[in-house]
Amino acid sequence: MGISIDDFGTGYSSFSHLATLPINALKIDRSFIINMVNNPDHRNIVSAIISLAHLLKHEVVAEDVDSQKQVTLRREMGCDDIQGYIFSHPLPANEFEAWRREFVLKPG
């Protein structure tokens, strides 16, 4: 189990947390992920967060990825992982197991 800072880049997330908390990952706030496709400033912010996190040996998760373009951009920038509707909407536990068998454990 690890600790992630959720919605990094907004609200109460702070750069000081990167040096003081025993975190494993940063989850980049959805507002940056959604806008990075069409906004170079947001793309640069995402790239900077990824670089900083990696320098500090943290993983990086892009939140609310819902398009193939976002998947491609985050891969090009070196983001470690993604979550979002591109895979699935939130599911009840009983539906999750069926989805997991089909999506994650599917051979090939």
**Model confidence at 22: pLDDT above 60:** yes
**Whole-angstrom distance, CA of residue 33 vs CA of residue 87:** 16
pTM: 0.80
Confidence of residue 99 (pLDDT cuts 50, 70, 90): confident
DSSP bridge pairs for 31: none
Cα of first residue to Cα of last residue in the chain, in angstroms, is 28
User: Which residues touch 62 (CB under 8 Å, ≥6 apart)?
Assistant: 27, 28, 33, 46, 70, 74, 79, 81, 82, 83, 84
Domain ranges of the chain: 4-103
Mean pLDDT to the nearest integer, 94-103:
85
Mean pLDDT to the nearest integer, 76-102:
89
**Whole-angstrom distance, CA of residue 29 vs CA of residue 105:** 28
Mean pLDDT to the nearest integer, 88-108:
80
Positive/negative CA dihedral, 56, 62, 68, 70? negative
**Whole-angstrom distance, CA of residue 24 vs CA of residue 2:** 6
Could you say which architecture CATH assigns to the domain 4-103? Alpha-Beta Barrel (3.20)
**Model confidence at 108: pLDDT above 70:** no
Mean pLDDT of the chain: 87
The enclosing H or E element of 6 equals strand 4-8
Residue 10 is predicted with a pLDDT of: 73
